[in-house]
Structures are given as C-alpha cells and as structure tokens.
Structure 1
Amino acid sequence: MTDRYLDPHQARQRTPTTYEDLLGDAIERAFAAGIHDLAGLVEQLNQSGLASPSGKLWTEAIYREEMATLGA
C-alpha cells in the first residue's frame, strides 16, 4: 500500500500537457535563478520563448489568468 501523503501527484486529475510541462519548467528555471516577483517571472517567461496561450507576450494579467485557468 502506498502512503498517500508521499504521492507528489495525489491531486492530479490527468497527465499534464506538453504546454503545461514547458510552462512549469520555465517557472522552475525562473525560481532557480532567484526570481521571486511576478514582474520578474513574467519577464523571464517572455525571454524563455514560451508563448502565452494567446500567442502574445506574457503580462502579469495574462499570467494570473492562466494560473487561475490551470488551477481550476
């Protein structure tokens, strides 16, 4: 029997999409680089080359909206 508290994906309903994996990787790289504020994170996402869902440059508003969508 697996201890449910040791399962890092216990709340996952499905496997992440390629886009979600790439976004997560880009966010992790930003945090690893010492970026912890939203403005810096958005700038790093734009420099990473990963487009926002609309294909536009990332903004704080687009980032918030995307996190709300993915977290729903």
Structure 2
Amino acid sequence: MITRTAREPYLETHQTHPEPITPYERKLAGSLTEIFSGGATTLDEVVDGLNTLGLHGPDGGPWTEQTFRAEMRRLGK
C-alpha cells in the first residue's frame, strides 16, 4: 500500500489552474469522482450520474451530453 502525504510532483508541475477552484468546480469534481468510482465508463453513465446526484448543469437544467462536453471544454481552458 502506498501512502502519500504530499502532492505528487507531476501534479504540481503539469497541472495549472489560473484561479482558486470554485465551490462549483469542487462539487463537480467530487461528483465525477463518485460517479467514476461507482463504475461509470461511458458518457451516458456520467451524465445520468450527475443528474441522479442532483447536480444541475451550468445552465441550471439537467445535464446532457452536449452540456457536459461544453462544460469540460470551458473548464479545460
């Protein structure tokens, strides 16, 4: 078993985020972690998982494949 007590150097060097992570981004990340940990492997399963958890899309409505893809593009910039 590997125990990590500090951030991995790769993450610090190769991942950047221009501003502090917002509560929305933190909640979305936690929801996605939960969904993938539950075995989701397809976009349909991810979208269904977000809607099942009650996390609204960026427009306040339910998630769709299109809204998920657009939000990942926006957040990835």
TM over 0.5: yes
1:9 to 1:57, Cα distance in 2 relative to 1, 3 A: farther
> In structure 1, how many angstroms separate the alpha carbons of the residues matched to 2:11 and 2:27?
18
1:50 alignment partner in structure 2: 55
Partner of 1:19: 24
Q: Secondary structure at the match of 2:19?
A: coil
- CA root-mean-square deviation: 1.4
> Which 4+ residue blocks in structure 1 deviate beyond 6 angstroms?
none
Q: Which residue of 2 aligns with 1:33?
A: 38
Structure 1: runs of 5+ lacking an equivalent: none
Gaps of 5+ in 2: 1-7
2: CA distance between counterparts of 1:25 and 1:9? 20
> Match for 2:41: what amino acid?
H
Higher relative contact order (CA 8 A, sep 6+): 1
Percentage identity across paired residues of the two chains: 32
Give the length in aligned residue pairs.
Answer: 68
Name the CA distance, whole Å, in 1 between partners of 2:45 and 2:70.
Answer: 17
